[in-house]
Structure 1
Amino acid sequence: MSQENKVALVTGGARGIGRGISRHLLDQGWRVVFCDVDSEAAIDFLAQHPGTRDLYFVHADVSVEAQVEQALGEAMAWAGRLDALINNAGLADPDNGPVEDLDLSVWQRRLDVNLTGPLLMTKHGIRHLRETRGSIVNIASTRALQSEPDTEAYAATKGGLVALTHALAVSLGPEIRVNCISPGWIDVRAEQPGAGDNVEPLSQRDHEQHPAGRVGRADDIASTVAFLISDNAGFVTGQNIVVDGGMTRKMIYED
C-alpha cells in the first residue's frame, strides 16, 4: 500500500501543532481527516488547499463520546480506511492558578479533553486500525516530565497520556503500534488562522537557551509523527519521544 493511499485522522487539526501535522502529512502524500471544535479555523485551513480531494474536516469535541463515534463514522465514509490516528486535541493553557483555588470543573475539563479524548478516539478507532495494522500517536508535553508552578491539571493530563500510551501499546500490539510525542516549546503562531507573514520574530535569547540553538516549529513535531506512523518505525511502540531541543536535559540553576 503506497503512502498516497493511506489515511490519517488528526484531532485538533485546525490550528497550532495539529494544523502543522495535517499539512505535513498532506504534503507527504497522506489523505488527511482533521477534526476540531473550531469551524472557522478549519475553514481557513481548507481555504489554504483549494481543489484538493485529500483533506477533509469533521467537527467534533473529542471529550463527547457520541461526537467521537460520529466523527469516525464520517471519516470512514469519506476515506474507507484508517491507517493512523494522531491524538493532538487538547486545552493548551497550562496555568490553572493556585491549587488551593483550583475549581474542580477546570480540573475535570482538562481531563475530559486532554486525556479522555484520546482514549475515546482510540476506543472507537481500534477496529479500523486493526484492519490496516495502523498506528496511534498521542501528543503529550514535556510538562509530563517537569513543571512550573500552578500547572497541576495540565501536567496530570499529559503525564496520564504518556502512561496511557504504553498501556495501549501492550494491549493493542502487535496489530497496532502506539507511541507518544512530548513537545517542548513549539512556536505555533504561524499555524493560527490569518497569521500570514506578520509573525514577530522571537528573541535571540529565546533561541539560544535551547541546546539545539532554536525554538521548535510545528514541522519538528509533524516530521516526528510522520516517522512514527511509517513502516520505518515498525519496531517502535510504547515510547514517549521528547522533541524539545534538549531543554529537559539542561541543568538550570539560578545564580
Structure 2
Amino acid sequence: MKREFATFVLAQFVLCELTRCGKACGPSEYSSAAGECCPMCGIGSVVSRDCVGDLSTTCKPCPPATYMNEPNGLNRCFPCRNCAESQGLYIQRKCTTIQDTTCDVLDGYYCIDFSNSQCSLAVQHKICKPGQETITLGTKTSDTVCGDCRHGFFSQLGLNCTQWTNCEARNEIESEAGSSVKDTTCVRPSRNRCSVIASLLLLLVTVILITTKSLLYHSKRIKSQDLPLPTEETSPMNVPSSPEEDEEL
C-alpha cells in the first residue's frame, strides 16, 4: 500500500514538472526563454523583446536583404537568396521583407541542383561540334543532345546535317570529296575553255591561210615582172634603104 502511494506521488510530481516546464502555447504563440507563452511576430518582422507579464512581445522589421515569410518567435530574419550569374541564375523576383528572392535559370543554361524546389546551380548547355547535329535542344532542366552526322552528310555549325551535293545531278564534276564538316566541291566541265581554244585555232588557221594566199599572190606578181619583154622581128622589106642606095637607083 505504501509502495503504490509512493508511485502515485512520484507520477503526480513528474506530471506537474512536465506541465510547468513544457507549458503548451497557442497556435499564434511561442514559448519564450522564460517559459512564457508570448504572441508571435507577424511576417516581415522578428522578436525584439519577449513578452513579460502584461507586456506583449516587441517586434522589429526585417533589415534589408532579409525576410520573414511566416509568423514566428525568432530573433533573426532569414537572409535573401543570391541569384548569381556565375551560377547560371538571374533574379526573377526581388527579395522583400515578406518573401525570398525568386531565381530562374539563364537562357542557354540548365539546372543541375535544386534547393527548396528552386534551382540553386545551373550550367551552360552543350554546344554541338562541327560534324554533329542538334538532336534535342536544351531546356532549363535538361542538356542539349548531339549526334554525329551520317556518312554522306555534313554540318559546319553543329546544327543540322545536310546531304552532300550530287555533282552528277547538276551536270558537274566532283573536284573534292565531302566530309562530315564540309560539302562536296563541284566544278563545271571545261566546255568554255574548249570553245575558246577552238575559236583561237580557227582564227589562227584563217590568218595562216590569208597570209599564205597573200604571199603566193605577191610571189607570182614579182615573177611576172622579172620576165624579159618580147622583141619585134624585122624583115628585109621593112628595112629602110640608105641614101646611097637611093642615088644608085
Using the size of structure 1 for normalisation, the TM-score is 0.15
Q: Which structure would you say has the larger Rg?
A: 2
Q: Larger helix proportion, structure 1 or 2?
A: 1
Greater relative CO (CA pairs within 8 A, separation 6+) = 1
